[in-house]
Chain A
Amino acid sequence: MKYRHIKKWILLAAIILSGIVSRFSGGINSYYLQIIIFIGINITLAVGLNLINGYTGQFSLGHAGFMAIGAYVAAYLSTEHSAGLFRALGGPNFFSITLLFISVLIAGGLAAAAAGLIVGVPSLRLKGDYLAIVTLGFGEIIRVVIQNTDAVGGPRGYSGIANYTTLFWTYSVAAITIYVVVSLIDSTYGRGFLTVRDDEVASEAVGISTTRYKVTAFVLGAFFAGVAGGLYAHSTTYINPSGFDFQRSIEIVVMVILGGMGSTAGVAFAAILLTLLLEYLRFVSGYQWLPEIIRRIAANRVIIYSLVLIALMLLRPQGLFGRLPRRGIPIGGATKRAKLPAHSA
Chain B
Amino acid sequence: MTSTEFFQQLINGLSLGAFYALIALGYTMVYGVLRFINFAHGDVFMIGAFCGYYLSPRLLPHFTGGLTPLGPVAVLILTMLICALLGVTIEKLAYRPLRQRPKLTVLITAIGVSLFLEYGGQFVFGADPKSFPELMPDRAIAGTGALTITTTQLAAFIVTICLLVALTFIVKRTRLGMAMRALSNNPTAAALMGVNIDVVISFTFALGSALAGAGGILYALSYPSIDPLMGLLPGIKAFVAAVLGGIGNIPGAAVGGIILGVVETFVGGSAFSTYRDAIAFSLLIVILLFRPAGIFGRAHSEKV
**Smallest CB separation, A155 vs chain B (Å):** 9
Contact B284 A134 (CB under 8 A): yes
Q: What's the Cα separation between A201 and B183 when bound, in Å?
A: 26
Q: What's the Cα separation between A305 and B222 when bound, in Å?
A: 33
Say yes or no: is B136 at the interface (Cβ < 8 Å to chain A). no
The residue on B at minimum CB distance from A202 is B304
Say yes or no: is B35 at the interface (Cβ < 8 Å to chain A). yes
Of B119-127, B146-154, B159-167, B258-266, the stretch lying at the interface with chain A is B119-127
Chain B residues near A341 (CB-CB < 8 A): 33-35, 99, 183, 187, 197, 201
Partner of A128 from the list B107, B113, B116 (CB cut-off 8 Å) is B107
Of A84-92, A142-150, A208-216, the stretch lying at the interface with chain B is A142-150
**Smallest CB separation, A311 vs chain B (Å):** 8
Say yes or no: is B198 at the interface (Cβ < 8 Å to chain A). yes
Partner of A310 from the list B36, B109, B122, B282 (CB cut-off 8 Å) is B109
Contact B187 A134 (CB under 8 A): no
Chain A residues near B277 (CB-CB < 8 A): 140, 144
Say yes or no: is A329 at the interface (Cβ < 8 Å to chain B). yes
Say yes or no: is A5 at the interface (Cβ < 8 Å to chain B). no
Partner of A306 from the list B33, B35, B112 (CB cut-off 8 Å) is B112
Chain A residues near B292 (CB-CB < 8 A): 125-126, 130
Partner of A303 from the list B107, B123, B201 (CB cut-off 8 Å) is B123
Chain B residues near A253 (CB-CB < 8 A): 108, 111
Chain A contact residues: helix, strand, loop or mixed:
helix
Say yes or no: is A2 at the interface (Cβ < 8 Å to chain B). no
Chain B residues near A246 (CB-CB < 8 A): 232
Contact B101 A329 (CB under 8 A): yes
Say yes or no: is B278 at the interface (Cβ < 8 Å to chain A). yes
Interface set, chain B 208-230, CB cutoff 8 A to A: none
Contact A342 B236 (CB under 8 A): no
Given contacts A148-B274, A300-B123, A342-B35, contact A314 B98 (CB under 8 A): yes
Chain B residues near A340 (CB-CB < 8 A): 99-100, 187-188, 191, 197
Partner of B37 from the list A129, A313, A337 (CB cut-off 8 Å) is A129
Q: What's the Cα separation between A48 and B282 when bound, in Å?
A: 25
Interface 0/1 of B267-304, CB less than 8 Å to A: 00000001101101110110011001000000000101
Contact B111 A250 (CB under 8 A): yes
Partner of A344 from the list B114, B123, B188 (CB cut-off 8 Å) is B188
Contact B100 A307 (CB under 8 A): no
Say yes or no: is A46 at the interface (Cβ < 8 Å to chain B). no
Contact A314 B120 (CB under 8 A): no
Chain A interface, number of residues (Cβ within 8 angstroms): 54
Contact A307 B197 (CB under 8 A): no
Contact B236 A201 (CB under 8 A): no
Contact B115 A342 (CB under 8 A): no
Chain A residues near B186 (CB-CB < 8 A): 344
Say yes or no: is A338 at the interface (Cβ < 8 Å to chain B). yes
Contact B97 A314 (CB under 8 A): yes
Chain B residues near A104 (CB-CB < 8 A): none
Q: What's the Cα separation between A61 and B122 when bound, in Å?
A: 23
Chain A residues near B302 (CB-CB < 8 A): 201
Say yes or no: is A291 at the interface (Cβ < 8 Å to chain B). no
Contact A342 B109 (CB under 8 A): no
The residue on B at minimum CB distance from A136 is B236
Contact B37 A339 (CB under 8 A): no
Contact A313 B282 (CB under 8 A): no
Chain A residues near B106 (CB-CB < 8 A): 313, 342
Say yes or no: is A133 at the interface (Cβ < 8 Å to chain B). yes
Chain B residues near A330 (CB-CB < 8 A): 100
**Smallest CB separation, A33 vs chain B (Å):** 30
Chain A residues near B278 (CB-CB < 8 A): 140-141, 144-145
Say yes or no: is A343 at the interface (Cβ < 8 Å to chain B). yes
Interface 0/1 of B84-97, CB less than 8 Å to A: 00000000001011
Say yes or no: is B239 at the interface (Cβ < 8 Å to chain A). yes
Q: What's the Cα separation between A317 and B100 when bound, in Å?
A: 13
Interface 0/1 of A257-300, CB less than 8 Å to B: 10000000000000000000000000000000000000011001
Contact B101 A310 (CB under 8 A): no
Contact B236 A302 (CB under 8 A): no
Say yes or no: is A244 at the interface (Cβ < 8 Å to chain B). no
Contact A310 B187 (CB under 8 A): no
**Smallest CB separation, A138 vs chain B (Å):** 7
**Smallest CB separation, B205 vs chain A (Å):** 13
Chain A residues near B96 (CB-CB < 8 A): 339
Question: Can you list 13 A-B pairs, Cβ within 8 angstroms, ordered by A?
Answer: A59-B107, A61-B111, A125-B289, A126-B292, A129-B37, A133-B236, A253-B108, A300-B119, A300-B122, A314-B97, A314-B98, A342-B100, A344-B188
Instruction: Give A contacts to B, CB under 8 Å.
Output: 57, 59, 61, 122, 125-126, 128-130, 132-134, 136-138, 140-141, 144-145, 147-148, 201, 246, 250, 253, 257, 296-297, 300, 302-303, 305-310, 312-314, 317, 325, 328-330, 334, 337-344
Q: Which 8 A-B pairs have the closest CB atoms?
A: A137-B281, A309-B112, A306-B115, A306-B116, A344-B187, A310-B112, A302-B119, A343-B35
Instruction: Give B contacts to A, CB under 8 Å.
Output: 33-37, 94, 96-109, 111-116, 118-120, 122-123, 183, 186-188, 191, 197-198, 201, 232, 236, 239-240, 243, 274-275, 277-278, 280-282, 284-285, 288-289, 292, 302, 304
Extra contacts, 8 of them, besides A134-B284, A144-B274, A342-B34 (Cβ < 8 A), are A137-B285, A144-B277, A306-B113, A313-B112, A314-B109, A340-B187, A340-B188, A342-B99
